[in-house]
Structure 1
């Protein structure tokens, strides 16, 4: 488990508690009470994570921060400006990192990549998802996870789910995530 996982949980719990206490005192109508100390602490956490080079977790933490502020009733104009600024920063971070650019360049690549190619994992993730059909090959019957897909337990777990359970299984997973999101917002 990565230390940043604890950071995600800490930001959610601490941020929700902080905003709830400020809401009880009717302080959230003032922008400084809505943003301070939540945003500076979140930026400090984001800075530490970006020093480690983990842009994916930084994006998730930013989404958590936006979610907390949205649920607290932050004005919509705040999100428009900050989202534009965050998108510009993300663009610069991707553009200046050869590793991130190589991952982005794998999108839409046709043909069979070499095992040493950076697109091998992405291509075989798509193959796994595509070979699932309507109902999949059955639990544990994945071909890609037993040698073709080097890291099936990481970001590509959804591709393996698609191969083993097919379209029906992947739509079920998405429906469960949607239900979880609906229950969380409700």
Structure 2
């Protein structure tokens, strides 16, 4: 890259990403220490692994920021095919079941999560396909049906793991990218209402049948104190953590709820530990960082030199935004408990690497953006 292009890289996005990852590393260590000592006999267990994954993510982010983002357009179909194959393989004996969920494939000591690969692949594929069909997006048969079928296939494969919440995230991601890609407003409204109706019907069915962990989660959402030692445990402990943090928090490392009171303190409920240790001020700062990240993605999308770059940036902003809303919504009991991690911060190597890799692509787009910088 020449000097002019290097100056155009979105440094605000880069620094925001690095700051979020750094906060994530610190909070994973703080939140996981007691759990790691109790279950692994090593308080540094999760810290070592998150540092390893962050290093891999950093390398990919740097490398991808130097690769012309147009290359990904050529690989879009292959990436989609690879992700679909992985989503199928994870449901076979090749997949590993952990806590009654079959979501991982272990290869040579590494743990691969196909749903995270699917997030990367779907953003690239949707962006490439929507650009290619930009003149056909107003028609229902070309602009809606093919992508609706893809939504159905992806959702079913993810739901079978079972992972209902991630399946919904992927569907929402694709529908929003379709909207940005140019489908009719009427088609978007139809899809949105149909989707909300389907989700509402499913939740009503789960609630009325009264079977399985999904029902217990819905009941706990309505009244977590009805079952404080089981279904409502996570919600109650999360609210206690957030409430006890006050304005400025108890200080890093001084959380009480992380000491085997709050399940998954380093993963799905890490925001609760942030609120307990850093208080309202620290929590608000993290939310501002996410807002800044999404804004820079949006700015890159608005200034992208082509539709593909615009849609990739929009897809990343959508993915991060959806996950932040769901994760914080769960931690604050605004939404039912579900397993969506907090981007860049929750423990999870695959998720961290994928997001940092996507950020690298955005940095490359920003170098070529019209009026970028600032």
Q: TM-score range by the shorter chain?
A: 0.7 to 0.9
CA 1:36 to 1:88, structure 2 compared with 1: closer, same or farther past 3 Å? closer
Aligned equivalents of 2:296, 2:127: Cα separation in 1 = 17
Which secondary structure does the structure 1 equivalent of 2:258 belong to? helix
Which secondary structure does the structure 2 equivalent of 1:145 belong to? coil
Which secondary structure does the structure 2 equivalent of 1:166 belong to? helix
Matched, 1:34 2:143: yes
Aligned equivalents of 1:28, 1:93: Cα separation in 2 = 29
CA 1:29 to 1:74, structure 2 compared with 1: closer, same or farther past 3 Å? closer
Q: Which residue of 1 aligns with 2:257?
A: 144
Deviations 1:79-130 (A, max 9, x none): 2221221112112222333322221222353759543x21111110111111
CA 1:121 to 1:130, structure 2 compared with 1: closer, same or farther past 3 Å? same
Give the Å deviation of 1:29: 4.2
Superposed counterparts of 1:12-161, under 5 Å: 12-23=123-134, 26-35=135-144, 37-97=146-206, 98=211, 99-107=213-221, 109=223, 111=225, 114-115=228-229, 117-161=230-274
Instruction: Structure 1: give runs of 5+ residues left out of the alignment.
Output: none
Instruction: Give the TM-score normalised by the residue count of structure 1.
Output: 0.87
Aligned equivalents of 2:193, 2:265: Cα separation in 1 = 34
Matched, 1:182 2:311: no
Q: Which residue of 1 aligns with 2:122?
A: 11
User: Retained in 2: the 8 A contact 1:113–1:123?
Assistant: no
Aligned equivalents of 1:182, 1:82: Cα separation in 2 = 26
CA 1:147 to 1:112, structure 2 compared with 1: closer, same or farther past 3 Å? farther
Paired residues, number? 183
Taking CA–CA contacts closer than 8 Å with sequence separation of 6 or more, which of the two structures ends up with the larger relative contact order?
2
Give the Å deviation of 1:42: 2.5
Give the Å deviation of 1:185: 2.3
Instruction: Structure 2: give runs of 5+ residues left out of the alignment.
Output: 1-111, 300-374
Give the Å deviation of 1:36: 5.2
Aligned equivalents of 1:139, 1:68: Cα separation in 2 = 39
Give the Å deviation of 1:144: 0.6
**Which one is further off, 38-47 or 159-168?**
38-47
Instruction: Give the TM-score normalised by the residue count of structure 2.
Output: 0.45
Aligned equivalents of 1:67, 1:47: Cα separation in 2 = 19
Aligned equivalents of 2:225, 2:150: Cα separation in 1 = 46
